[in-house]
Chains A and B, each alone.
Chain A
Amino acid sequence: MKLIRITEYLDIELERERWRCNRCGADFGPAREPWKKGALIRERDPREIHFPIGPSKEFNFSFDPKWMRIVEFYCPKCAVMIDNEYLPPGHPLTWDIQLDLDQLKAKHGVTPVRKRRESGPK
């Protein structure tokens, strides 16, 4: 199994084209799809993280929750926070990493499992 490190918390298992958690190995699904589909996702009020400072309700060094929410993405197995997004409520998520897997495989000398079988002894 060839694991390629992609980010701090994400690997790709090249032969099977799967996203994997770098910390615990949990499977996040097909690497041709957004890894976020395999994560646990939680919406948070930004004031839970950025505690308001000062007397104003409008301007207090925290995010206005009507404007912006924090969306956290966790590994469903080890609960590490893989990433987060700060988005207006309801705004579509970001497909942040869409790799050219064919190029990546060629770079690492990995033949797709399906093709390898096809080219095996007959």
Chain B
Amino acid sequence: MGQLFDAHARLFDGLIYEIDAYGRRPGCDPELISRGLEPITDLERRGMAQLSEVDTELLTHKLTAIVEEARDVYMALSITESVITGDMNCALFTASGDPVAVATGIYFHTMLNNAQIKYATKYYRNDPTVGLADGDIYFFNDELGGGVHAFDMFTAMPVFWKGELVAWATCGGHQGDSGSPTPGGFNAKARTRYEEGIHVPMMRIGERFRLRQDILDFLAGSVRNPFVFAADLKSRVATLDVLRKRLLREIERRGVEPVVGGMRRILIKSEEAARARLRELTDGIFRAVMFNDDELGGQLGLTRIPVTLFKEGDGMTVLVQGVSPENGLGPMHSTWHLVRASTAVYMFSYFFRGLAPNAGLLQPIRYLVEGPSIANSRDELAHGMGTSISACVVNGLHVLGSKLLFSSPHREAVQAPHSRNIMLMIFAGENRLGYATANFTGSANASGQGGRFDSDGESAVGFYWGPFTDAGETEDTDARLPHFVLARRLEKNYHGFGRYRGGSPLVEISTCGHLGCFMSSWGSADKISHNPGLMGGYYGPPNPRVVIKNTDLFERIERGEEVDISQYELLTRRKLKGEYRLEASGQATQAFKPGDLMCFGLGGGGGYGDVLEREPERVLGDLRENLITAEVALKIYGVVVDPATGLIDSAASTRRRAAIRRERLRKGKPFAAFMRAWQRKKPPEAILKYYGAWPEPRTPGYDKPFWGLYR
């Protein structure tokens, strides 16, 4: 696997690393899921022989334009809240099922769709009871068959040319309700997958380019929002039609062999480009460790998700080992394929930035994800929030990638990770247009970016899984969802501090109209955070749920009072009467009524670099923009602001920073002295119940000063 890996890694006996931790089951073949690119076909080989580099480049741009147009079509046609704001993707695949052209959107959606396409090709195409024909329409949302979770739903269509299968088109996204016990799908209390709604592996739902009404009725009848579901499904079929027609037009213009061969050549070029970039980087082993505060059996428990990266020559191995075991007490269980696909969001957007995003980019990377564990879990468990675990892998990888890239020509991609402190509120009920709806708002797409090596992270920049998403317009949200938005704000001290600070999230504060509504929520990072800083920058803060019940907001508005609706002001000054509830993110469905407030934000990015190197003028800017408090300016950044003038006292700031540096030298201990005291400490037993062996979940009695040294 590589000299470094062979010399330093040791995989544990009896555990699974290179494939999902479950076997073949209906609609699901883990062996197919774990495959890389399929072999080159004869048609592709003939086509590649006809192509110049210019031809390939032109085709790359053409296919990219097609999938981007499809993205616009899907977002414009759908009435699903999260699709409208960008939690979706569209793509074109080879006939063998490898994604070639991937739209800007949620990259991991597309990087998972290959599994079900390959399944249909292998198992259904020649099955006389199913078959595969021009005009077929397929649907799937089963997380075991290669999906994310039941709430992300996808549609696929084969593309035929003169009777020959030449490509596949896919589109899909976060639909919302899945018929689980919780409106909106996410069931924070689920322990098995049978509590997360319908699971549909690759299923033909239409023929001859038309949906079958009986199947549509079955699917729409399985969820709480049939009107939204059916409208969204039809919009996907329309989008697939666009993808198919545009691709066939290219075939008419260029010929089938150059297009099919060009699609393969694009994949090969991406792999070559990825390997060339890897060769520019320093070889070595890089490690990061993340932790989760999952709700397990009614109380929060600590779990661990470490990542080790072996970079050797033009290849890499991502090793996720020493993970906490499965607990079976909640839905925060990921799968091998979700971990792999999730990393595409970082790899495509940052690590391999500038390269054409497709399956070729991941071809030089080997993924070893220890299972059974919370990162690579078995089939019967609930997986609805497995993205919280795969995100920990991605954020660890983001830190490692930044450390690897810093000394390379690609330093521009160095930054602390985008916020992944998910606390997602799902609103359900009847909207102002008179139909049932259940989803989250675009504020999910407005979390904070991590601090960059040369600048601050952007505030409210996008969704963790899709930097290209949008927060949406509040007026539209008010019409489409059962609650309405009172305020959207950037809050104080809601990001990681550093030489370049992290970005703050958009915090949306909302209440219900006269019909009331239901709201459930899920997430973690309530007592800890998933948003690391980088190179000395501090983490973005934890992100618990904030609800204020029975406020006197409407009475005050009726009296004509001005009310400053900001989460920070509400929590620190408590100007509104009411019952202030700060709690863990994962909560079952509750009824809300007018005047109950819900505060919804997805956390701030970590900082970059030592806080004492932040330019005082930038600190003053943060203070003036209400991004930090005076206490942070003074105690964290060591910047003294004259309260009379509001200007920086330079001499006092210099003294203050010198004093902080002296304190560091005084309180910092040499390694041996530090370890003597540190290794005697341990978290409370109550939170380690599902962690595994302390401190190494798979290695009882581990007493080395550094984790992960298993040889």
Listed in ascending order, the chain A residues whose CB lies under 8 Å from chain B are: 4-9, 34, 36-43, 48-51, 53-56, 58-64, 66-68, 70-74, 76, 78-84, 86-100, 103-104, 107
A-B contact pairs, 26 of them (CB 8 A): A8-B536, A8-B608, A39-B671, A43-B677, A50-B538, A51-B632, A53-B571, A54-B571, A55-B582, A59-B526, A59-B542, A62-B541, A63-B527, A71-B678, A73-B536, A74-B664, A84-B536, A88-B291, A88-B695, A90-B683, A92-B695, A92-B702, A92-B704, A96-B286, A96-B287, A99-B282
* Contact of B612 with A80 in the complex, beta carbons under 8 Å: yes
Known interface pairs A42-B667, A54-B571. Does A90 touch B679 (Cβ–Cβ under 8 Å)?
yes
Q: In the complex, which residues of chain A have a beta carbon less than 8 angstroms from the beta carbon of B546?
A: 54
Q: In the complex, which residues of chain A have a beta carbon less than 8 angstroms from the beta carbon of B526?
A: 59
Q: Does B218 contact A (CB under 8 A)?
A: no
Known interface pairs A80-B612, A97-B284. Does A67 touch B582 (Cβ–Cβ under 8 Å)?
no
Q: In the complex, which residues of chain A have a beta carbon less than 8 angstroms from the beta carbon of B571?
A: 53-55
Listed in ascending order, the chain B residues whose CB lies under 8 Å from chain A are: 4, 8, 282-289, 291, 293, 302, 312, 400, 403, 406-407, 453, 493-494, 497, 526-529, 532-533, 535-536, 538-539, 541-546, 568, 571-572, 574, 580, 582-584, 608-613, 629, 631-632, 635-636, 661-662, 664-665, 667-671, 674, 677-684, 687, 695-696, 702, 704-709
Q: How far, in angstroms, from A5 to B560 measured CA to CA in the complex? A: 61
- With beta carbons under 8 angstroms apart, the residue of B8, B497, B671 that contacts A41 is B671
- With beta carbons under 8 angstroms apart, the residue of A37, A56, A104 that contacts B671 is A37
Q: How far, in angstroms, from A94 to B406 measured CA to CA in the complex? A: 18
* Contact of B704 with A63 in the complex, beta carbons under 8 Å: no
* Contact of A68 with B706 in the complex, beta carbons under 8 Å: no
* Contact of B493 with A61 in the complex, beta carbons under 8 Å: yes
* Contact of B668 with A8 in the complex, beta carbons under 8 Å: no
**Minimal beta-carbon separation of A13 from chain B (angstroms):** 14
Known interface pairs A36-B671, A67-B683, A68-B291. Does A103 touch B282 (Cβ–Cβ under 8 Å)?
yes
* Contact of A67 with B536 in the complex, beta carbons under 8 Å: no
* Contact of B610 with A5 in the complex, beta carbons under 8 Å: no
Q: How far, in angstroms, from A103 to B3 measured CA to CA in the complex? A: 12
**Minimal beta-carbon separation of B680 from chain A (angstroms):** 7
Q: In the complex, which residues of chain A have a beta carbon less than 8 angstroms from the beta carbon of B671?
A: 36-39, 41
Q: In the complex, which residues of chain A have a beta carbon less than 8 angstroms from the beta carbon of B407?
A: 4-7
Q: In the complex, which residues of chain A have a beta carbon less than 8 angstroms from the beta carbon of B400?
A: 96
* Contact of A92 with B707 in the complex, beta carbons under 8 Å: yes
Task: Specify the main secondary structure of chain A where it touches its partner.
Answer: loop
- With beta carbons under 8 angstroms apart, the residue of B403, B539, B677 that contacts A86 is B539
Most buried by B among A6, A74, A79: A79
Known interface pairs A59-B527, A61-B542, A92-B707. Does A42 touch B695 (Cβ–Cβ under 8 Å)?
no
**Minimal beta-carbon separation of A45 from chain B (angstroms):** 12
* Contact of A60 with B493 in the complex, beta carbons under 8 Å: no
Q: How far, in angstroms, from A107 to B571 measured CA to CA in the complex? A: 55
- With beta carbons under 8 angstroms apart, the residue of B282, B535, B572 that contacts A8 is B535
Q: In the complex, which residues of chain B have a beta carbon less than 8 angstroms from the beta carbon of A88?
A: 291, 302, 683, 695
* Contact of A9 with B541 in the complex, beta carbons under 8 Å: no
Q: In the complex, which residues of chain A have a beta carbon less than 8 angstroms from the beta carbon of B543?
A: 61
Q: How far, in angstroms, from A72 to B537 measured CA to CA in the complex? A: 10
- With beta carbons under 8 angstroms apart, the residue of A59, A64, A76, A104 that contacts B668 is A76
**Minimal beta-carbon separation of A93 from chain B (angstroms):** 5
Q: How far, in angstroms, from A107 to B529 measured CA to CA in the complex? A: 38
* Contact of B584 with A81 in the complex, beta carbons under 8 Å: no
Q: In the complex, which residues of chain A have a beta carbon less than 8 angstroms from the beta carbon of B536?
A: 8-9, 73, 80-84
Q: In the complex, which residues of chain A have a beta carbon less than 8 angstroms from the beta carbon of B406?
A: 5-8
Q: How far, in angstroms, from A40 to B529 measured CA to CA in the complex? A: 25
**Minimal beta-carbon separation of A81 from chain B (angstroms):** 4
Q: In the complex, which residues of chain A have a beta carbon less than 8 angstroms from the beta carbon of B544?
A: 56, 59-61
Q: How far, in angstroms, from A48 to B609 measured CA to CA in the complex? A: 18
Q: How far, in angstroms, from A17 to B679 measured CA to CA in the complex? A: 29
Which residue of A is nearest B668, CB measured? Answer: A40
17 further interface pairs, Cβ-Cβ under 8 Å (given A55-B582, A58-B527, A90-B679): A6-B282, A34-B706, A51-B493, A51-B632, A61-B542, A62-B542, A63-B529, A67-B293, A67-B527, A82-B535, A82-B536, A93-B705, A94-B288, A95-B709, A98-B286, A103-B282, A107-B282
- With beta carbons under 8 angstroms apart, the residue of B283, B542, B580 that contacts A99 is B283
